[in-house]
Structure 1
């Protein structure tokens, strides 16, 4: 496959993202991106949506933040718009009302969980969901946000929403390495590819590199040795560079790091652009 198939961020976009230009630290932006992708995944489960649509939405979501700041658009709105657009691209469209209702549930659940964590309640009471009023403004506000988000994604990405998913290629690579007989390795590598969707790697590296990182992590988990001495390095079969594979592996493994209470609460309280701007004002004042 040609690398031209993968729309990737430029070096300038990587070094100086729009969010960084607006004074948002890299670690905050990374956490917000990751949490936005989690909301997309949870919405996909509640909607019984296909995995290809959810994965496409997460990749488009990550790309968007290389051209726009989280200060300008909320991760909740853009996540909703990305999932709506991806569902059309993968020919498994969802009803707008269903998507809006699901995101309303997720936003209430997030607020409920954040309140419980902040109060130190390890066993919070079950969320009592309050449905939107039929004649209230909440539904129409979310509907407007969904329409605007989809339009802005298309506009700012220049309608370049082509996405190459890694799953079929992973199977071919595992077959070439003689690993298809190990169900545990296949499942672990597949899981790493899914987890990587919470990181920006799909907008930074070509798919063969990301797949190679997933295989590296999976085989090391199960102490499986692969040829790694030049000139017989297994990753050269896939035109991947070791430094890039190691970098992608680092992105994935950072997802599993222990998080402080403050780190857990931060993205939950910055889902809208209003929340992000308030956080910026508070930190500038301090």
Structure 2
């Protein structure tokens, strides 16, 4: 991965991902990345981890797939490893057992919610925690430890993660938008949800913050006009409109696929739903879509075989 900023190593925009070179369709890769980020966010909320832990874990998760193919590691294992590593990096350590139990619970919940009603009833009781000495528990524990090691190895121990929140606060102050409470809330939620896309591994954290302002201003009712004269406002922050449009497009596609499309007759909620974002977690479409997302590498390979993309000689792990 190239680097435009020491604290935020970035992947080249024009470089194909290892997954695409392995024949994984773009839509499947997008879904796998998004679902891994959603799992990290959900487990972090369940364990009452600070948002910085979940955000850092999602950045590491997204970076990992620019150096490794989704054909060689399952998103569940890498998500667990990223969250465990992030909790240590941010000095808010989480217990391995708690992480495993939460991921296992969410898997059971998705299976349970494969049919309506949505969301699941609060009295969901189909889940039985694994016994501490169960083979499944030790398999998941080994997978978590291996995933953490692979993240460190394949990222060259570059675990510094610049997050967009500080930039967002500064930019809102410069643009005199801090009084627009609804816009500020939307921006914060957009920054959180962008971490479920490849954007944090492709663009500097400042660009993510600017894209959240750009999108929020346009989707506000009525739209909020930001200065375009003598030069467009984003040029003062060392970015281009093309970059803002690209990041915004990735986020809108996430909402369209997983949540509620604000451009397709719906709107992005003004409530955080307790999950730090807008329009993704907690929606009916999440349960439907999650049901068909393979969380293991064997599941991904089965999907590829079904699509006819798994034929031929498999590449070896990089």
Both structures adopt the same fold (TM-score exceeding 0.5): yes
Match of 1:179 among 172, 177, 180: 177
State how far apart, in whole Å, the 2-side matches of 1:167 and 1:161 are: 18
**Gaps (5+ residues) in structure 1?**
none
Q: Specify the alignment match of 1:18 in structure 2.
A: 18
* Secondary structure, counterpart of 2:305 in structure 1: helix
Q: CA deviation at 1:264?
A: 4.3
Say yes or no: does 1:78 pair with 2:78. yes
Alpha-carbon displacement from aligned partner over 1:195-237 (angstroms, at most 9, x marks no partner): 10110101001122111110011112221111124x4211112
Choose the corresponding residue for 1:164, options 153, 158, 162: 162
Q: Among residues 194, 197, 207, which one is paired with 2:195 in the alignment?
A: 197
- Asked if structure 2 preserves the Cα contact closer than 8 Å seen for 1:166 and 1:207, the reply is yes
Q: What TM-score, normalized by structure 1, do the two folds share? A: 0.90
1:279 maps to 2:297: no
Find the aligned partners of 2:239 and 2:291 in 1 and give their Cα distance: 33
Within 5 Å, give how 1:35-184 maps onto structure 2: 35-114=35-114, 116=115, 121-122=116-117, 126-184=124-182
Write the distance in 1 (CA, Å) between the matches of 2:302 and 2:87. 32
Runs of 4+ displaced beyond 3 Å = 121-127, 258-269
Q: Distance in 1 between matches of 2:232 and 2:293?
A: 45
Q: Distance in 1 between matches of 2:298 and 2:287?
A: 19
CA RMSD, Structure 1 to Structure 2 (Å): 2.2
More helix by share: 1
Distance 1:91 1:263, change over 3 A: closer
> How much has 1:267 moved relative to structure 2?
6.5
How many residues are paired up? 277
Q: Hey, what does 1:244 align to over in structure 2?
A: 243
